[in-house]
């Protein structure tokens, strides 16, 4: 098996504004695993509020490259166990796990869906993100869009803005990226109208969730508070929903386990994304038959996508049907 990796720059179609800052591009690391003329692809991106340094990942890959390349072709779940011994950051672990699933499926001429017997008859539609801005501009974007589900970013709570969004009678979620105060959260979860938002994501900064009440009117969704399967039990009294991102939890292999456990604990589940190319989004799309919400618009937000595969068109998940994760580079 051969390992290659390359740093890429994802250019955004417009400035992406969230509570953490404004972004015009994202740096990405593309992973390629190849064997017998088949190539599998995975990806991770640099997110500053996760303190990701892709140069550190490149140095780590150079150290473990030989260990990876001498591995025989085994089942991806066994390969994942091997990866765990390499002590990798979850973002890098995810890129390698996804690349190996893609390679393995192509070698077997079977899709990830076939290999895991996953459903495809009821794929949930994805939301598209409306970045922070003047409420009138946000509403204008929503009304002009052909998508039917929206995730509106906000910085802090503006009750008038909440009222205006609810008047639209659209499928809208709120994401404050941890910018709500305790007082904001108390007001929201006591307000009966708030249940009309499909979910309210990561209202407080990490580990400050104990003000939240699961029984309130707000469908609180954990993002940064829910990093992996170990988070689930602790969050039960506070959150109704969780956002599973492959990079956070370490890839498709742990995501499948996390979905199973979250179902047992009666969570609503979203498969989410960062700003990613079709390499990353293709992997997430394959899990949409198992979840209640999807936020997989990452590749729709960039202007220089370098891959083809599974994708999202006006919210609808379009599966390529190809082996592995269905990914090809352009």
Q: How far apart are CA 305 and CA 311, in angstroms?
A: 11
DSSP conformational letter for 59: H
What is the edge-to-edge ordering of all strands in the sheet holding 2-18? Answer: 2-18, 21-35, 38-45
Is pLDDT larger for residue 15 or for residue 230? 230
User: Predicted confidence band at 18 (pLDDT cuts at 50, 70, 90)?
Assistant: confident
Q: Report the percentage of the chain scoring pLDDT > 90.
A: 94
pLDDT exceeds cutoff 90 at 23 = no
- Give CA separation, 78 vs 74, 111, 260, in Å: 6, 18, 19
pLDDT exceeds cutoff 80 at 87 = yes
pLDDT exceeds cutoff 80 at 20 = no
User: Predicted confidence band at 48 (pLDDT cuts at 50, 70, 90)?
Assistant: confident
pLDDT on residue 47? 85
- Give CA separation, 129 vs 167, 168, 189, 274, 305, in Å: 19, 16, 23, 11, 18
- Give CA separation, 32 vs 98, 226, 249, in Å: 10, 28, 20
Torsion of CA 142, 216, 233, 274, to 10 degrees: 10
Q: How far apart are CA 147 and CA 295, in angstroms?
A: 12
Q: How far apart are CA 99 and CA 44, in angstroms?
A: 11
The residue whose two tokens read 């404004």 is 22
Three-class DSSP category at 48: helix
Q: How far apart are CA 134 and CA 4, in angstroms?
A: 43
- 229-271 pLDDT, tens digit each: 999 999 999 999 999 999 999 999 999 999 999 999 999 999 9
pLDDT exceeds cutoff 90 at 187 = yes
Three-class DSSP category at 191: coil
Q: Report the percentage of the chain scoring pLDDT > 70.
A: 100
pLDDT on residue 197? 98
Q: How far apart are CA 327 and CA 325, in angstroms?
A: 6
- 114-173 pLDDT, tens digit each: 999 999 998 999 999 999 999 999 999 999 999 999 999 999 999 999 999 999 999 999
- Give CA separation, 304 vs 151, 277, 317, in Å: 23, 8, 20
What count of Cα atoms within 13 Å lies in the side-chain half-sphere of residue 215?
A: 0
pLDDT on residue 167? 95
The residue-averaged pLDDT of 214-238 equals: 96
Q: How far apart are CA 322 and CA 105, in angstroms?
A: 9
Q: How far apart are CA 181 and CA 149, in angstroms?
A: 26
Q: Maximum distance among all alpha carbons in the chain? A: 60
Q: How far apart are CA 243 and CA 113, in angstroms?
A: 21
- Give CA separation, 232 vs 91, 151, 182, 210, 260, in Å: 19, 23, 22, 14, 11
DSSP conformational letter for 17: E
The residue-averaged pLDDT of 171-193 equals: 97
The residue-averaged pLDDT of 8-28 equals: 88
């Amino acid at each position: 098996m051969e390992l290659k990796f390359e740093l890429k720059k994802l250019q955004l179609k417009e400035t992406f504004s969230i509570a953490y800052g404004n972004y015009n591009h994202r740096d990405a690391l593309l992973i390629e695993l190849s064997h017998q003329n088949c190539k599998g692809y995975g990806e991770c991106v640099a997110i500053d509020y996760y303190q990701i340094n892709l140069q550190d990942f490149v140095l780590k890959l150079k150290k473990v490259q030989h260990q990876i390349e001498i591995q025989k072709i085994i089942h991806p779940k066994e390969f994942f166990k091997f990866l765990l011994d390499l002590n990798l950051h979850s973002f890098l672990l995810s890129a390698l796990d996804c690349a190996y699933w893609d390679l393995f499926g192509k070698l077997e001429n079977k899709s990830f869906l076939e290999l895991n017997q996953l459903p495809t008859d009821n794929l949930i539609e994805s939301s598209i993100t409306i970045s922070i801005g003047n409420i009138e501009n946000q509403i204008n974007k929503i009304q002009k869009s052909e998508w039917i589900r929206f995730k509106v970013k906000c910085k802090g709570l503006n009750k008038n803005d909440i009222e205006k969004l609810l008047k639209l009678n659209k499928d809208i979620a709120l994401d404050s990226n941890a910018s709500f105060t305790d007082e904001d959260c108390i007001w929201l979860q006591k307000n009966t109208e708030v249940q009309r938002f499909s979910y309210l994501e990561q209202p407080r900064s990490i580990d400050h969730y104990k003000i939240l009440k699961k029984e309130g009117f707000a469908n609180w969704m954990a993002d940064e508070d829910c990093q992996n399967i170990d988070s689930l039990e602790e969050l039960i009294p506070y959150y109704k929903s969780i956002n599973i991102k492959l990079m956070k939890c370490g890839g498709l292999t742990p995501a499948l386990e996390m979905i199973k456990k979250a179902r047992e604990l009666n969570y609503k589940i979203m498969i989410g994304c960062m700003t990613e190319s079709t390499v990353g989004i293709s992997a997430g799309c394959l899990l949409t038959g198992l979840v209640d919400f999807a936020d997989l618009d990452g590749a729709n937000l960039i202007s220089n996508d370098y891959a083809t595969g599974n994708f999202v068109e006006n919210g609808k998940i379009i599966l390529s049907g190809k082996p592995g994760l269905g990914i090809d580079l352009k």
